[in-house]
Structure 1
Amino acid sequence: MDVVELILCIIAAVVLSSFLSRFIPKVSTPLVQIALGAAATQLPFFPDVNLNPELFMVLFIAPLLYLEAHEIDKSALLKTLKLSISLAIGLAIVTMVAVGFALNAIWPVIPLAAALALGAALGPTDAVAVSSLGKEASLTLRQRGVLKGESLFNDASGIVGFQFAIAAAVTGEFAVGQAAAEFIVSFIGGALFGTVVGLAANWLFETVRSLGWETTTTRILMELFLPFLLYLGAEEFHVSGILSVVAAGLLVRFDRTGVGPNVSRTNIVASSVWGVLSFTLNGAVFILLGMLLPGAMHASWVDPWVSNNMLFGVIALVTGVAVVLRFIWVAGMLRIARDANTGKRRPMTADRWRSAAVMTFGGAKGTITLSLMFTIPYYIDAGTPFPMRDELIFIASGVIVCTLLLANFLLPLLAPYRAKDDDGELEEITIEVLRRTVEELTGRITPENRRAVLMVIDSYTKRISRLKHRIGALDPAGYGQLQIRALNWEKEFVRDRLADAKSHPDADKAVQELNVEACERMLDQIMNSLRHATAGPEAGGLAWQISGRMRGWRHRTMNLIKRTINRIRRTTPLVSEDQIFAHMRTLQVEAIEHVIAMLEEEMTYDRYNTEFCSALILDYRRAEGSLKARPNVQGSAAAAGKAEEVKKESYGIELGVVQDMLEAGDISRAQARALRRNIYVMQVDADSGI
C-alpha cells in the first residue's frame, strides 16, 4: 500500500508543479519540483522513500534518454559531436581528478579514493535538466546540441569512473589499467549493442507494419518496451546500458516510415503517449530528487562531530572547482575548434566567451549524480564503515542544488530570451503553427470526413500563402486592427439587413424566414469572431463578451424551439438547411462587396496604412471568388456543418501546437499569448474560405 501511496503522491506533485510553474515563470520547473518533493516528505501521511539506484536507472533514466536521443536534432548533434564527446569523456575524467584531489586536500579525513568517487559522480550532466533549459534563456542551436549531446554520452564515463574509485576505496588498491579497460569495453560495447538492437528493431517494426499486423496498441507497447529491453540486455552483457539506449534511440526511425491515414493516426497517438510519459517521468525524477535530499542531508546535518559550516564551505569549493574547470575546458575547446567554412581557428570574442559561460552553467547536475552516490557501500572490505559516506552524499546533494540554481538564474542573464515579439518573426512563427496544424489535420482524414477536412486544410493553405505575402508588413498589429474594423462593417451590414427583413414582412412566409434565419446565423458567426479577435486582458469589455455569448446561446435555443414547433405542426419546415446555407453564401458575398467598398473608401483617408487596405481587399476578393466558385449542390449544408466541426477541432490543434512550442522553449510567453489571440483573428479568413 505504501508503494501505491508513494506513486499517487509523486503524480499529484507533478501535476501541481505544472500549475505552479505558470505562476512563477522565472523559476525553472525542475527547481519547483525539487521543492515540492522536499515539502512532500514533511507531510505526516507520506511514506518512507528508499531509492534502489539500479531500479531508478531502469524505470526513469533509460526511457528518458531513449526519447531524448530519438528526438534530438541529428544534424546539430553531428556538427557538435567532437565538443560533446570532449565534454562527456575528457572533462568528466578531469573533473573527477580535480574534485578528488581538491576535496582530499581541504578535508583530509575524506580518503582520496572516496573523493575521486564524488568527482566521478559529478561528471555526468542531467539530460532532463538540460532539456528544461531555455524556457527563459535563449540558447542557440549549437549550444543546445552540445549540452544535449554531452548529457547523452557522459553517463558511461561517470559511472565507470565512479565504480573504479569506489572499488579502490573498498579494497584499498588502485587498478588504473583495469579501470581503463573496463571503460573502453563498457563504452564501445554499449554503443555496439545499442546499434545492433536498434537496427533489428527498425527491421522488425517495418516488417510488422508492411504485413499489416501493426495496430496502435501493439505499436505503442513495443516502443515503450524497447528502452527497458535495451538497458537490461546491455547490463547482462556487462556493457553500458545507458549508451546502448542512446545509440538505439539515435538509430530507431520506424515512426517515420509508411504512409496513409492509419499510419499517421498511429504516429500521432504514439507521440501523444510519449509526450505524457516524458512529462510524467521528467517530473517524477525531480520530485524523487527533492524527496531524497532531506534524508540525504539530515544525517550529516545533525552529526555533532561534523561542522555544518565546513560542509557548506566544501560544497562551495567543489561547486567552484567543477564550474571553473568546465568554463576553462569549454573556452579552450572553442578556441582550438576550427571554423566549418574557413577551416581556421577563430579568436575568442565577447560573444564566444559568453557562449562558453552559457555552456558552463548549462551543465547542471541531477539525479544520476545522486543515484550514484546512494550506491556507495556502507562498509569496506576491512569491515569498518565506509569513511564519510553521509558527508559525501550531503556534498553531492548541495552541488546538485547549486548547479541547478546557477543554471536557473545566470543563464537568463547571460543569454536573455530574445524578445521574439518582432512582428515579422511572429508572422513566421504563426506560419509554422499553421503548418503543424495542417500536418495533424492531414493525419486525421478518413473517408467520412475527407471533404470537410480538405475544406479546412484549403483555408489553412490560403492563410499560409497570405501570411507569406504579408511577411514584410511594417505593423501587423495595425493590420489586425483593420481586420477587426472590417468585421464591424460586416456586422453593421448584416444587422441592417436583419432589421429590414423584420420591419418589412414578406407575403411569402418562407422567404421572410429564410432572410431572418440567414442574417441571424451570419451575425452570430461575425459576433463570435469579434469576441475572439478582441479577447485578452487589454481588450476589456468583459460584460460585452458575456452578453455576446448569452445572445448566441439564446438565439440557438430559440432556433431549437422553433424547429421543434415546426416538426409538431407540419412534417417539413418552411425552409431547408440547404436553402439557408445557399442564402447565407449569397449574403456573405454581398457583405464582402460592402466591406471592399468601405476599404476602397478608407484608402482615401489616412486612418489606416494604404498597404494594409489593399492587402485586406485582396484577401476579401479571394474569399469572394472562392464563395462564388462553389455550386449550391445538395448536401452543402451537411458538408459545411462537418467542416465547421473540423474547423473548431483545428483551432484546438493550433492552441495545442502553441502550448507545445512554449513548453519546448521555441517561443516566449508573450508570443504564446499573441499567437492565441491571432488564432481567433485569423478565424475570419478561415470562415471566408469555407
Structure 2
Amino acid sequence: MQLIETALFLLLAVVLSGWVARITRMPLPLVQIALGAGVVMLTGKSVDLRPEIFFLLFLPPLLFVDGWRIPKAALYRDRKVILELALGLVVFTVLGLGFFIHWMIPAMPLAVAFALSAILSPTDPIAVSAIAGRSPMPKRLMHILEGESLLNDATGLTCMRIAVIAATTGAFSLTHAVGTFAWLAVAGIAVGVVVSLSINLVKGFISRRWGEDVGGQILVSLLMPFAAYLAAEAIHASGILAAVAAGITMSFTEREGTAKAATRIRRAVVWDTVQFTANGLIFVILGEQMPSILARAAEVIKTTPQKEVWWLAVYVLAIVGVLATLRFIWVWATLRLTLFSRKKGTSERPKLRWRLVAVMSLSGVRGAITLAGILTLPFFVADGTLLPARNLAIFLAAGVIVVSLVVASVALPILLKGVEMPPEDHAYTVEDRARKAAALAAISALEQAERDAIGAGVRADEHAAVVARLMEVYRHQIELFSGADDNESVRNHQMEQLERELALLALTAQRTELVQLARKRLVDEETARKLIREIDLQEIRLV
C-alpha cells in the first residue's frame, strides 16, 4: 500500500509541476525536482530506486518515441555533426574529465573516475527543450541535440560498463573494450530493426485479413519498445540502441499509411500522454532521491582529502566547468569543420558565432540517464571489498545534474535570443513541391471519380458540383505553392499562417457555440459531443 500511495503522489507531482511551471515561469525540470523532494517530506520515505527497473520502465518508451518522431531528413542531413557529438565527444569527455576528477580527488581510483565521467557524458534533450521552451530554439539545432542524445546514451553507458569492469577486476583490455562496444552497438541496432519489422509485418497481416482493432494496435505500439529492449539485453547487446532503432524503423513502416486514421489519432494522443508522464516522473523521482543523497554528504566528505562539507560544492562546480569547457572545445571544432566549412563553388566561409557554440555547450544538460546509470555502480570489487568512493561518485553525479539544470535555465534563454544556424537548403521549396504534388494527386483522383460516376449513370450535374467545390480547394493550394523565388515562397507561408489563424478562430467560435447550445439543452449531448470532436480533429490538422 505504501508503494501505491507513493506512486500516486509522484503522479500528482507531475500534474502539479505543469501548473507551477506556468505560474512561476520556472523551468519544468527544476519544478519537478523540487516537487519530488516535497513528496519525500510528505510521505517520510523515499522510493528504493532499482536502476535496472528504472531503465526498463522509463527509457525504452521514451527513446522509442524520440526515434519514431524525430525528423529523419534532419537526422540524415546533419549525421556527421550528430555522430561526432554522440561518439567523439563522449570519448573526449570520458578521457579528459576522468583524468581531471582523479587529479582533483586522488581518493577516487582512476577507473571509478572514468566510470563517473562516462555516465556524465550523455545529455538530456528533454530538459533542454523544457528550458528552451521560453525562448525559440532553431529547429535544426534542436534536431541535432535530439539526434546526439539518442546515440550518446548508449555510448556513455557502454564506456561506463567498460570502466566498471576495470574498477571491479583491476584489468583493462583495449581490444576487449572495442569488441564489447562494437557488439553492443551493432547487435542492439540489429535487434531493434528486426523486432520492429517483425511486429509490424504480423500486425499488418492480421489487420488486412481480419480487420484492424484500434485498441489492440495502440497496445502493440506501447509494448514494442519493451520487446526490443528486453530482446537486446537477453543477448547482452544495447537495449537502449535497440529501442531507438525500433522507433526509427517504426517511422519508416508507418509511411505506408496502412493504419486507420482513427488509430493514428488515438495512438498519438496515448503516446503524448505516456511521454509527458514518463518525462515528468523521471525528474520527480530524481528530486525524490535528492534528500537521501544529500543526507549522506557528511559520510561522503570523509572519503576526500578535505574534510569540510563545502568542498563537495567546489568539486561539483569544478566538474560542471570542465564538462562545459570540453564540450565547448569539441562543439567549436565540430561546427567549424562540418556545418561552417567552405562549400564547393563558394569563396567565403560562413561565420561561426560564439553565441551558437555557447548555446550548444550549455545544452549539454545531464538528467535521468546520469542518475540511473551512476546508481548501477557495484558495491563490491572482485575480492569482496567495498568499491572505493562509490557514494562520492553518486553525490557528484546528482550535484552535476542539478547545477547543469540551473545554469542552463538561467543562461540559455538569454543566449538563444538571436542565435542562428546555417539555413536549410531549399526548405520552403521542398515543402511547396510536396504540397503541390499532393494537391495535383487529389485533383487527378477527383477527375477520375467524376468520369467513373458519369459512366455509372450518376447524375452528372450533382456530381460535377461536388467535384468542382473540392477541386477549387486544391487548385488554390497549387497556386499558393507554385512560387518561383524564395521571397514569394515566404509570402505564401505567411498567407498560410494567416489562413491557419483565422481557421482556428472560426473553429473556436463553433466549439463555443456548440457548448452553449448543449448547456441550454437546444442540442442533445451526444450530437454536441460528435460535432465538437469533428471540430477538434480539424483543429489538430491545423495546429
Corresponding residue number in structure 2 for 1:574 = none
SS in structure 2 at match of 1:49: coil
Deviation for aligned residue 1:302: 5.4
SS in structure 2 at match of 1:370: helix
Give the whole-Å Cα distance in 2 for the aligned partners of 1:2 and 1:554.
Answer: 43
Give the whole-Å Cα distance in 1 for the aligned partners of 2:206 and 2:71.
Answer: 27
Corresponding residue number in structure 2 for 1:22 = 22
Question: Cα–Cα, structure 1 residues 553 and 273, in superposed 2: closer, same or farther, change >3 Å?
Answer: closer
Corresponding residue number in structure 2 for 1:316 = 317
1:156 pairs with 151, 154, 157, which one?
Answer: 154
Corresponding residue number in structure 2 for 1:264 = 261
Corresponding residue number in structure 2 for 1:407 = 408
Give the whole-Å Cα distance in 2 for the aligned partners of 1:410 and 1:55.
Answer: 34
Question: Cα–Cα, structure 1 residues 106 and 75, in superposed 2: closer, same or farther, change >3 Å?
Answer: same
Give the whole-Å Cα distance in 2 for the aligned partners of 1:345 and 1:151.
Answer: 34
Deviation for aligned residue 1:199: 2.3
Give the whole-Å Cα distance in 1 for the aligned partners of 2:184 and 2:519.
Answer: 71
Question: Cα–Cα, structure 1 residues 472 and 191, in superposed 2: closer, same or farther, change >3 Å?
Answer: closer
Contact 2:46 2:289 in 1 (8 A): no
Corresponding residue number in structure 1 for 2:270 = 273
Give the whole-Å Cα distance in 2 for the aligned partners of 1:644 and 1:36.
Answer: 39
Contact 1:73 1:145 in 2 (8 A): yes
Residues 35-65 of structure 1, C-alpha deviations (whole Å, 9 max, x = no match): 111121111x344311111111111011100
Question: Cα–Cα, structure 1 residues 345 and 88, in superposed 2: closer, same or farther, change >3 Å?
Answer: farther
Corresponding residue number in structure 1 for 2:78 = 80
Residues 340-376 of structure 1, C-alpha deviations (whole Å, 9 max, x = no match): 9934797473x53222221111121111111111111
Q: TM-score, normalised by structure 1?
A: 0.62
Question: Cα–Cα, structure 1 residues 50 and 657, in superposed 2: closer, same or farther, change >3 Å?
Answer: farther
Give the whole-Å Cα distance in 2 for the aligned partners of 1:312 and 1:346.
Answer: 46
Q: Which amino acid aligns with 1:4?
A: I
Deviation for aligned residue 1:92: 0.6
SS in structure 1 at match of 2:210: coil
Deviation for aligned residue 1:256: 4.2
Residues 229-260 of structure 1, C-alpha deviations (whole Å, 9 max, x = no match): 1001001111111111111111114444446x
Question: Cα–Cα, structure 1 residues 208 and 331, in superposed 2: closer, same or farther, change >3 Å?
Answer: same
Q: Which amino acid aligns with 2:240?
A: I
Structure with greater Cα Rg: 1
Contact 1:121 1:373 in 2 (8 A): yes
Q: Which amino acid aligns with 1:132?
A: A
Corresponding residue number in structure 2 for 1:541 = none
Give the whole-Å Cα distance in 1 for the aligned partners of 2:221 and 2:274.
Answer: 12
SS in structure 2 at match of 1:211: helix
Corresponding residue number in structure 2 for 1:140 = 138
Corresponding residue number in structure 2 for 1:627 = none
Corresponding residue number in structure 2 for 1:229 = 227
Deviation for aligned residue 1:141: 2.2
Residues 368-394 of structure 1, C-alpha deviations (whole Å, 9 max, x = no match): 111111111222223332211111111
Counterparts of residues 533-548 of structure 1 (less than 5 Å): none
Residues 402-460 of structure 1, C-alpha deviations (whole Å, 9 max, x = no match): 11122222111111389xxxxxxxxxxxxxxxxxxxxxxxxxxxxxxxxxxx9xx98x9
Deviation for aligned residue 1:175: 2.3
Corresponding residue number in structure 2 for 1:239 = 237
Give the whole-Å Cα distance in 2 for the aligned partners of 1:345 and 1:217.
Answer: 58
Question: Cα–Cα, structure 1 residues 51 and 470, in superposed 2: closer, same or farther, change >3 Å?
Answer: closer
Contact 2:86 2:148 in 1 (8 A): yes
Question: Cα–Cα, structure 1 residues 410 and 656, in superposed 2: closer, same or farther, change >3 Å?
Answer: farther
Q: Which amino acid aligns with 1:289?
A: L
Contact 2:94 2:114 in 1 (8 A): yes
Give the whole-Å Cα distance in 2 for the aligned partners of 1:385 and 1:330.
Answer: 38
SS in structure 1 at match of 2:3: helix
Q: Which amino acid aligns with 2:234?
A: E
Q: Which amino acid aligns with 2:399?
A: G
Contact 1:170 1:381 in 2 (8 A): yes
Corresponding residue number in structure 1 for 2:360 = 359
Give the whole-Å Cα distance in 1 for the aligned partners of 2:2 and 2:520.
Answer: 52
Q: Larger relative contact order (C-alpha < 8 A, sep ≥ 6)?
A: 2
Give the whole-Å Cα distance in 2 for the aligned partners of 1:72 and 1:168.
Answer: 36
Give the whole-Å Cα distance in 1 for the aligned partners of 2:353 and 2:347.
Answer: 12
Residues 53-101 of structure 1, C-alpha deviations (whole Å, 9 max, x = no match): 1111111011100000000000001111111111111111111111111
Question: Cα–Cα, structure 1 residues 405 and 657, in superposed 2: closer, same or farther, change >3 Å?
Answer: farther
Question: Cα–Cα, structure 1 residues 11 and 82, in superposed 2: closer, same or farther, change >3 Å?
Answer: same
1:63 aligns with 2:61: yes
SS in structure 1 at match of 2:41: coil
Give the whole-Å Cα distance in 2 for the aligned partners of 1:360 and 1:252.
Answer: 31
Residues 457-492 of structure 1, C-alpha deviations (whole Å, 9 max, x = no match): 98x969x98x9799879xx8xx99xxx9xxxxxxxx
Give the whole-Å Cα distance in 1 for the aligned partners of 2:492 and 2:194.
Answer: 50
Deviation for aligned residue 1:184: 1.2
Corresponding residue number in structure 1 for 2:246 = 248
1:208 aligns with 2:209: no
Counterparts of residues 439-588 of structure 1 (less than 5 Å): none
Give the whole-Å Cα distance in 1 for the aligned partners of 2:354 and 2:348.
Answer: 12
Question: Cα–Cα, structure 1 residues 532 and 111, in superposed 2: closer, same or farther, change >3 Å?
Answer: same
Q: Which amino acid aligns with 1:9?
A: F
Corresponding residue number in structure 1 for 2:427 = none
Q: TM-score, normalised by structure 2?
A: 0.78
1:378 aligns with 2:376: no
| Uncovered stretches (5+) of structure 2, i.e. residues with no partner | 420-465, 481-490
Counterparts of residues 107-118 of structure 1 (less than 5 Å): 107-118=105-116
Give the whole-Å Cα distance in 2 for the aligned partners of 1:650 and 1:531.
Answer: 10
Give the whole-Å Cα distance in 1 for the aligned partners of 2:316 and 2:140.
Answer: 31
Corresponding residue number in structure 1 for 2:100 = 102
1:38 aligns with 2:57: no
Contact 1:30 1:132 in 2 (8 A): yes
Contact 1:335 1:348 in 2 (8 A): no
Give the whole-Å Cα distance in 1 for the aligned partners of 2:37 and 2:64.
Answer: 28
Deviation for aligned residue 1:189: 1.5
Using the aligned pairs only, state the percent identity.
33
Question: Cα–Cα, structure 1 residues 651 and 92, in superposed 2: closer, same or farther, change >3 Å?
Answer: same
Give the whole-Å Cα distance in 2 for the aligned partners of 1:655 and 1:409.
Answer: 34
Give aligned pairs, total: 475
Give the whole-Å Cα distance in 2 for the aligned partners of 1:161 and 1:530.
Answer: 57
Deviation for aligned residue 1:102: 0.7
SS in structure 1 at match of 2:29: helix
SS in structure 2 at match of 1:384: coil
1:330 aligns with 2:331: yes
Give the whole-Å Cα distance in 2 for the aligned partners of 1:299 and 1:64.
Answer: 31
Deviation for aligned residue 1:303: 5.2
Contact 1:297 1:397 in 2 (8 A): no
Deviation for aligned residue 1:653: 4.9
RMSD (Å), alpha carbons: 3.9
Q: Which amino acid aligns with 1:54?
A: E
| Uncovered stretches (5+) of structure 1, i.e. residues with no partner | 419-453, 485-524, 534-548, 561-637, 662-690
